[in-house]
Amino acid sequence: MATTNSSQSISMPLPIFDGSDYDLWGKKMMTLFKSQNLTDIVEKGLNKPTNISILEEAQQKELEVRKQKDASALYLIQQSLAITIFPRISEASTAKQAWDTLQKEFLGDYKVRTIRLQIPRRELENIKMKYSETVKDYHGRVKVVVNQTRSVGENVTDQRIVEKFLVSLTRK
C-alpha cells in the first residue's frame, strides 16, 4: 500500500501498464494523481531552485514537501509499470521525467498523435451498418470506434454520433 504526504492511502490495486492501451492507463493514472494531489508535480515538475541556501525557512519547507510529493508520484509511476516497461524509466529521477518519457514513447509527439488520429477518424467516417447486423451490434461497433477516436484526443460530440448512427443505418 502506498501512502503520500497527505496521509491518504491507496488501498486499491494500481493500474498496470504493459505497453498497450497507454491512453487508458494515462487517464487512470492522472485521476490517481489528482486524488493524491500530485498532478502539479507530474505535469510541471519539481522546479528546484539553483541555490537552495538562499531560501527562507518557509520556502525550504515547501521545497521539502514538493520533493516528497515528487518521490510519491515517481513511486506510483514505477509501481504501475509491468516489469518489461520499467527499464524505460529506470534512470528517471523525477516523476515528470518518468511521465514525459512514457508519454513520448507511447503517445508520441504532436506529429505522431496527428497521424494516429487519422486512423480512428477515418474509421468513424466510413463505418456503416452491415445488412445482416442488428442495431444493437452496430451501436456497439460505433461506440468502440468513438471511444478509440476520443482516446487519441479527438472531440466527438454526441450530436455527431447520433447523426452518424442515423445516416448509416440500413433499411430493414
Lowest mean pLDDT among 7-11, 30-34, 115-119, 127-131: 7-11
pLDDT tier, 10 (very low <50, low <70, confident <90, very high otherwise) = low
Q: Which residues have C-beta within 8 Å of that of residue 161, sequence separation ≥ 6? A: 142, 146
Residue 23 confidence (pLDDT): 82
State the chain's mean pLDDT as an integer.
Answer: 85
Q: For residue 145, what is its C-alpha cell?
A: 470506434
Cβ-proximal residues to 139 (8 Å cutoff; 6+ apart), any chain? 165
Integer Cα distance of 143 and 147 in angstroms:
6
Instruction: List pLDDT tens digits, range 36-88.
Output: 999 999 999 988 777 777 778 888 888 899 999 999 999 999 999 999 999 99
The pLDDT assigned to 82 comes to: 94
Query: How high is the pLDDT of residue 59?
Result: 81
Specify the pLDDT at position 22.
Answer: 87
C-alpha distances in Å from residue 107, one per residue of 55, 76, 151, 163 = 38, 19, 11, 30
Euclidean distance between CA atoms 26 and 128, whole angstroms: 31
- Give the whole-angstrom CA distance, residue 169 versus residue 147: 20
CB 69 within 8 A of CB 45: no
Tell me what pLDDT residue 106 has. Answer: 84
CB 74 within 8 A of CB 2: no
pLDDT value, residue 60: 82
**Please, which residues have CB within 8 angstroms of residue 171's CB and are 6 or more apart in sequence?**
none
- Percent of the chain residues past pLDDT 70, beyond the cut: 91
